[in-house]
């Protein structure tokens, strides 16, 4: 059937090459959101352990409150970072502030039982607070750049 409709091949339809797709979320954003989720889970864990054990030798309420605040801000920061929301950098800085306060709260609680290592506890607490705050401030800058690049 050379002349029939069955033997004719369909005319090729011109295709436009697909545009390279940008990933929905860059790898750095995914890793940062995962890290913040880990921070949130750690804060919840610390709060739960302290609330259930209630160690009498420590002012556990102070640390539990700091850990709960850190957990809440880390969770909200993780959600904002994952969505690349405009508020994400602010939540990251807030999480850094709560984490720094948690470091200081741990030093205040540990100061009573420290004895000779009292100065070292404060040095480590201040260093930890500064490093956490600096890291999350840099992360906020990175997230702001990613948000601006998508606009």
Please tell me whether residue 57 adopts helix, strand or coil conformation.
coil
User: Which pLDDT score is estimated for 139?
Assistant: 98
Neighbour-count burial of 49, counting CB atoms closer than 10 A to its CB (0-12 exposed, 13-18 middle, 19+ buried): middle
66-68-71 Cα angle (round to 5): 110
pLDDT of residue 11: 72
What are 117-139's pLDDT values in tens digits?
A: 777 889 999 999 999 999 999 99
pLDDT above 80 for 67: yes
pLDDT, greater one: 5 or 44: 44
- pTM of this structure: 0.80
Strands (E), the chain: none
> Can you read off the two tokens belonging to residue 41?
């889970």
Share of the chain above pLDDT 70, in %: 85
- Return phi, psi of residue 66, to 5°: -65, -40
Contact 59, 65 (CB under 8 A): no
Task: Look up tokens 């470091």; give the residue.
Answer: 103
Tokens of 101: 């306060």
131: three-class secondary structure by DSSP: helix
pLDDT in tens, 88-100: 999 999 999 999 9
Tell me how crowded residue 76 is: count the other CB atoms within 10 A of its CB. Answer: 20
């Amino acid at each position: 059937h050379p002349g029939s409709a069955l033997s004719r091949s369909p005319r090729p339809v011109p295709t436009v090459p697909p545009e390279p797709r940008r990933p929905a979320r860059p790898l750095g954003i995914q890793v940062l959101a995962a890290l913040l989720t880990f921070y949130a889970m750690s804060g919840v864990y610390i709060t739960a352990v302290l609330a259930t054990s209630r160690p009498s030798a420590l002012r556990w309420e102070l640390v539990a409150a700091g850990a709960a605040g850190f957990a809440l801000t880390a969770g909200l920061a993780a959600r904002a970072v994952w969505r690349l929301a405009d508020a994400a950098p602010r939540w990251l800085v807030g999480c850094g502030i709560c984490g720094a306060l948690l470091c200081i709260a741990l030093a205040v609680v540990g100061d009573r039982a420290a004895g000779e290592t009292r100065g070292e506890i404060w040095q480590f607490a201040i260093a930890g607070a500064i490093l956490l705050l600096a890291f999350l401030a840099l992360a906020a800058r990175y997230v702001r750049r990613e948000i601006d690049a998508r606009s």
